[in-house]
Amino acid sequence: MKYHSLNYNSNKVSFLDAVRKGLAPDRGLYFPENIPKLSEKFIQNISSYSNHEIAFEVIHPFVGNEISKNKLREIIVDTLIFDFPIVPINDKIATLELFHGPTLAFKDVGARFMARCLNYANEIKSNKNLTILVATSGDTGGAVADGFYKVEGINVVILYPKGKVSAIQEKQLTTLGENITALEVDGTFDDCQDMVKSAFIDSELINEIELTSANSINIARWLSQMFYYFIAYKNRPNPEEKLVISVPSGNFGNICAGLVAQQMGLPIDHLIASTNINDTVPNYLNSGTYSPKKSKSTISNAMDVGDPSNFIRIQKIFDNDLFKIKKVLSGYHYSDSQTKKAMKEIYKISSYIPDPHGAIGYLGLKEFLKSTDESYYGIFFETAHPIKFADIVESTLKTTIEVPNRLKSILERTNNSIPIKTYQQLKSYLRER
């Protein structure tokens, strides 16, 4: 499998080269030259496969012979070290919990898979040190920090917006040390993302330092998120009904991976992009006009993205045909007050404690189910453990969340971040490092 740039002004590269580069030289996102089809036999018998076997069958066509089958299986086993339980909310709706990994966020899968692929690429292709530059609106930073912690030959620099991530999220990205550095940006997530993009097109900088990205623009982070969808389909509570999945969406890598899974033959009938008031994509689906905007802060901060990088990949999947996109993808957006109301509703009907992102996924699913006369079973993704948003969850639901053991030691650590305001400060730091 080869990968080409969506700016169409760079040569095609292999899987490992695309992982190592992150972005193409023309600053475009990499995209596979084709989306392979899985056999109907595999789909029909998916319940007989383990999660590790499913992940291998799904990702191997995209990796090809770049990584041996045995090594790829080893990477997958080391990536999927936790469960993905489905919890019923009512007779038509359930949630898939994606937060049972080391940092209690869905991004643990992509970060762990990418770290292991990149470590392998480093071993066989280059001895040169690599700097991973990543912007985070919340969970990406912690997952990347954990996934790459103490990986030899790789330094990680994480940019996060000051005052706009939760206290636990900040602890996860600022307290590890070693090869992990956190830069606290006086601005929004979009400002962080703009700085990262500026670094990648700064010829002076990239001539001195080999940079790559661990955001979901990286194909290893992006494509491995397909695993969730196959696992959800395998374990769905009501196999007789058509399946619809609602995804809390920020930078749109997760739901884009779901659309790739669908293109590969996974029988997901429909997908829902559920957002907060950062509603660029829902507005596009309604109007046909894509108008990025400055991101706004919400209680679902990991989705505070006004110009989602991965949406161009969704447009590519469907040849930029809005009619084709709308056949399989709906988009809805919700305010903080609606999010809190949904959290209370979920808790009341099922005693289930959602985080704000999952609550938005629930709202999108409910709205879609109300809009159709067809019979569906719906699953919304719970992308982060509610403890990561304890203040808002506990005050909204008037309950107390028990702190998981794996977080207790993190909460005792001291934050260690470097404040910056401008791209020039970022560039100076990278050059000095």
Predicted pLDDT at 214: 82
Predicted pLDDT at 190: 84
Give a yes or no: residue 42 inside a domain.
no
Predicted pLDDT at 127: 59
Walk across the sheet containing 86-88 and list its strands: 86-88, 93-97, 376-382, 242-248, 270-275, 329-333
pLDDT tens digit sequence for 72-116: 999 999 999 999 999 999 999 999 999 999 889 999 999 999 999
Residue 433 has pLDDT above 80, yes or no: no
pLDDT tens digit sequence for 278-316: 999 999 999 999 999 888 999 998 899 999 999 999 999
Give a yes or no: residue 203 inside a domain.
no
Is 21 labeled as catalytic in the residue annotation? no
Residue 126 has pLDDT above 70, yes or no: no
Number of domains in the chain: 1
Give a yes or no: residue 33 inside a domain.
no
Whole-angstrom Cα distance, residue 47 to residue 183?
Answer: 44
Own/partner contacts of 311-320, CB < 8 Å, gap of 24 or more, are 311/252, 311/256, 311/280, 311/281, 311/284, 312/6, 312/29, 313/6, 313/29, 313/31, 313/222, 313/252, 313/256, 314/252, 314/255, 314/256, 314/259, 316/6, 316/31, 317/35, 317/256, 317/259, 317/260, 317/263
* Mean pLDDT, all residues of the chain: 93
Give a yes or no: residue 264 inside a domain.
yes
Q: Which residue has the tokens 């957006």?
A: 333
Predicted pLDDT at 314: 97
Predicted pLDDT at 192: 92
Predicted pLDDT at 417: 93
pLDDT tens digit sequence for 177-200: 899 999 999 998 889 988 998 998
Whole-angstrom Cα distance, residue 141 to residue 392?
Answer: 21
Give a yes or no: residue 123 inside a domain.
no
Predicted pLDDT at 327: 97
Residue 231 has pLDDT above 80, yes or no: yes
Q: Are 346 and 89 in contact (CB under 8 A)?
A: yes
How many other CB atoms are there within 10 angstroms of residue 351's CB atom?
A: 8
DSSP secondary structure code for residue 137 in this structure? S
pLDDT tens digit sequence for 5-22: 999 999 999 999 999 888
Predicted pLDDT at 356: 97
Q: Which of 21, 41, 71, 107 is catalytic?
A: 107
DSSP secondary structure code for residue 415 in this structure? P
Residue 133 has pLDDT above 80, yes or no: yes
Point out the least confidently predicted range of 188-197, 404-413, 414-423.
Answer: 404-413
Q: Are 37 and 265 in contact (CB under 8 A)?
A: yes
Predicted pLDDT at 240: 92
Give a yes or no: residue 298 inside a domain.
yes
Give a yes or no: residue 383 inside a domain.
yes
Predicted pLDDT at 166: 82
Residue 138 has pLDDT above 80, yes or no: no
| pLDDT tier, 269 (very low <50, low <70, confident <90, very high otherwise) | very high
pLDDT tens digit sequence for 316-371: 999 999 999 999 999 999 999 999 999 999 999 999 999 999 999 999 999 999 99
Query: If you average pLDDT over residues 270-275, what whole number do you get?
Result: 98
Give a yes or no: residue 109 inside a domain.
no
Residue range(s) defining the domain that contains residue 262: 83-103+222-397
The better pLDDT of the pair 98, 408 is held by 98
CATH number of the CATH domain containing 378: 3.40.50.1100
